[in-house]
Amino acid sequence: GALGGILYPRESEFRDLRSLDGIWQFRTENVSSQGTVNQWYMNRLTETGPTIPMPVPSSYNDVTLEKSLREYVGSVWYDRNFFVPNSWRQNGQRVWLRFGAAHYKAKVWVNGQEVLEHDIGHLPFEAEVTSSVLFGQENRITVELNNTLTPTTVPQGSVAVEQTLDGPKKIQQYTFDFFNYAGIDRPVVLYTTPAVFIDDITAHTDVIDTTGVVYFNMTYNGLGRIKTNVKCQVTILDAQNKPVGIDMVNDTTGAGFNGMVEIPDAKLWWPYLMDPNPGYLYTLEARITTTQSGVEIQDVYRLPFGIRTLHWDNTTFLINNKPVYMRGFGRHEDSDIRGKGLDLALVTKDYNLLKWVGANAYRTSHYPYAEEIMDFADREGIMIIDECPAVNADIYSDALLEKHKSSLTQMIQRDKNRPSVVIWSIANEPRSQHPQATAYFRSVAAHAKSLDPRRPITAAMMYGFSEDHSAQFLDIIGVNRYNAWYSDVGKLEVIQPKLVAEIEGWHQLHNKPVLVTEYGADTMPGLHIQPSYVWSEEYQADYSVEHFKAFDTLRQKSYFVGEMIWNFADFKTDQDIRRVGGNMKGIFTRQRQPKSVAFQVRRRYFHLAHEL
């Protein structure tokens, strides 16, 4: 719930789940606030004027032929009808409504009653709707969604008004380099919990010799004021669903259960290609049993988790006490037609490509990715640098700071139990040359640390180490660098000396591990120019090889912990003369076909995997 956990909705013997995905009705506003003023949530949207069918989950921008919808700024409205079965009305059972995400600011009504408000995209939100739904009858859900970005949203943007022949028109401006897709872009579900329900689980693990230790905290809610006895039980199941450990307590305080389970000869969670069986997952089965008004109430929630350790110091980054070198990508949630909408076929293909190319890591640039995407990373052993949506932070204010911290709170709350998440990224390319960046990032970093002291924090730097004011608060420093692209264009010979010198400079100044979080060259697939010339496949290949040489020099130093290509695949951006249908720095096209460099990256990544 709003103040408690945001556990991924899962069915169990005591929890039911219904998807609200599918075609909803949709319309834009002709003037701002039109929907609110006319109370569009009181009836079906079709009664307010013309609507169009809109898929959920999907971004709305690219599914029609209208330029005006692609570039729309303001509130759009969605609605649909759904049934709540009569069978859901039993023993005080609760009904919840959960959005995987919606961009950017959402307001939700059920049967005309406001149930939920949330802002910041890419993060889940939910509310209990038991008293708003009609059991055994048809119900209506209405969503107002506003994509406007301002100097105090995360990410930031600004709105300009241009005079056109049709009157004034709002233009959304932003400096970040990906399209500001909007819509209900992740799944929407209704689910039930018993009256007394497991609200949150926090687990972390340690390894002592060959024994895995699982420390957990499980909280429940819904008891009301009378604190009756609640039997809490946690069973750990292995990947074959065999119980391997158990702990229980009779809680009479309502506070929940802090416990520990030891697992002899534990199978550890390893990154891809570091073990024959990477991504090994156990299940933490949490169970509560209590009695209310003479009726027994039980709840069960099953959380997948991995057993691994994470350590870092000034020169190393270790998983299960082995030094780890990250090889991977910056990425985007992005594809034709659906934009940032979750598409399981695309997600599956992307993981098959990641494994094909031998990557063991990526950064969720520049916002938290869908939970279904993160599930794959847990299962496949892909290490994640989990990034909050603060991209290109500039014009620092208290209001921005609060939003930025809130995005971290929500992201960490969502992803805290994932073994794949090995680093939190608190920002991408902050304008950290401003003196105000010092106080701002001190506060942001302290906030992230207070929420999770067990994972290191990073940020991807744009400014050089002599100008930057933010890296002093990080554990690991990420560097985005475009030598021979945005600077010294075409001069491949500068890459090695400049990159090596700069990375050494960062390490010397801060005495911290460093990785390259971005380097890349825009490449038009099929453009061949030899000797290599910018935008050709040959240039992307030569540019990469020069970086590989620089990385090999840097790998002699233990503090250099990873290389990530910008980008995994081509992706859409705002219109810009430097962009051809979008950013073309992918080693795969937007349709996930390889450019020539992909075969070179594959050779390197497998070589690195087997050498280390």
Catalytically active residues are: 429
DSSP 471: G
Question: What is the per-residue DSSP string for 194-249?
Answer: -SSEEEEEEEEEEEETTEEEEEEEEEEE---SS---EEEEEEEE-TTS-EEEEEEE
| Near ligand GCB by CB under 6 A: residue from 107, 338, 510, 585 | 585
Minimal distance, residue 578 CB to ligand GCB, in Å: 8
Minimal distance, residue 584 CB to ligand GCB, in Å: 9
β pairing state of 257-263 and 243-251: unpaired
Q: Which value, to the nearest 10 degrees, does the dihedral of the CA atoms of residues 334, 335, 337, 339 take?
A: -10
CA distance 250 to 256: 9
Token digits of residue 174: 């932003």
Whose Cβ is closer to ligand GCB: residue 40's or residue 519's? 519
Minimal distance, residue 177 CB to ligand GCB, in Å: 4
CA distance 446 to 460: 17
Using alpha carbons, select from 34, 36, 105, 112 the residue that is nearest to residue 79. Answer: 112
Token digits of residue 348: 């599956």
CA distance 508 to 469: 15
| Near ligand GCB by CB under 6 A: residue from 428, 432, 496, 523 | 428
Whose Cβ is closer to ligand GCB: residue 290's or residue 428's? 428
Minimal distance, residue 172 CB to ligand GCB, in Å: 17
Amino acid symbol at 183: G
Whose Cβ is closer to ligand GCB: residue 416's or residue 572's? 572
CA distance 420 to 249: 30
Whose Cβ is closer to ligand GCB: residue 155's or residue 194's? 155
CA distance 442 to 71: 36
CA 89 to chain centre: 34
Minimal distance, residue 586 CB to ligand GCB, in Å: 10
3-state secondary structure of 129: coil
Token digits of residue 226: 């009378």
Q: Angle, nearest 10°, between helix axes 597-611 and 537-554? A: 20
Minimal distance, residue 535 CB to ligand GCB, in Å: 13
3-state secondary structure of 36: helix
| Near ligand GCB by CB under 6 A: residue from 518, 538, 546, 563 | 518
Minimal distance, residue 106 CB to ligand GCB, in Å: 25
Binders of ligand GCB in range 545-574 (CB under 6 A): 566
Minimal distance, residue 126 CB to ligand GCB, in Å: 30
Using alpha carbons, select from 599, 577, 466 the residue that is nearest to residue 522. Answer: 577
Per-residue binder mask for ligand GCB (CB under 6 A), 359-378, x = binder: --------------------
| Near ligand GCB by CB under 6 A: residue from 29, 334, 429, 542 | 429
3-state secondary structure of 288: strand
177 touches ligand GCB by CB under 6 A: yes
Whose Cβ is closer to ligand GCB: residue 140's or residue 585's? 585
CA distance 199 to 303: 12
Whose Cβ is closer to ligand GCB: residue 143's or residue 459's? 459
543 touches ligand GCB by CB under 6 A: no
Q: How far apart are the first and last CA of the chain?
A: 44
Q: Please state, in angstroms and as integers, the Cα–Cα distance from residue 143 to each residue in 105, 112, 138, 366, following that order.
A: 10, 10, 17, 25
Residue 24: left if φ>0, alpha if ψ -120 to 50, beta else—which one? beta
Minimal distance, residue 574 CB to ligand GCB, in Å: 11
Whose Cβ is closer to ligand GCB: residue 79's or residue 177's? 177
Binders of ligand GCB in range 185-244 (CB under 6 A): none
Minimal distance, residue 420 CB to ligand GCB, in Å: 22
542 touches ligand GCB by CB under 6 A: no
Minimal distance, residue 92 CB to ligand GCB, in Å: 48
Closest residue to bound ligand GCB by CB:
177
Whose Cβ is closer to ligand GCB: residue 353's or residue 521's? 521
Whose Cβ is closer to ligand GCB: residue 487's or residue 508's? 487
Binders of ligand GCB in range 434-493 (CB under 6 A): 462, 480
523 touches ligand GCB by CB under 6 A: no
Q: Can the peptide bond before residue 155 be classed as cis, meaning omega within 30 degrees of 0?
A: yes
Per-residue binder mask for ligand GCB (CB under 6 A), 249-288, x = binder: ----------------------------------------
CA distance 471 to 442: 10
Token digits of residue 518: 């971005």
Whose Cβ is closer to ligand GCB: residue 507's or residue 585's? 585
β pairing state of 421-428 and 457-461: parallel
583 touches ligand GCB by CB under 6 A: yes
Whose Cβ is closer to ligand GCB: residue 201's or residue 457's? 457
Question: What is the per-residue DSSP string for 375-444?
Answer: HHHHHHT-EEEEE-S-BS--S--HHHHHHHHHHHHHHHHHHTT-TTEEEEEEEES--TTSTTHHHHHHHH
- Count, residues near ligand GCB per rule CB under 6 A: 9
- Which residues are near ligand GCB by CB under 6 A? 177, 428-429, 462, 480, 518, 566, 583, 585
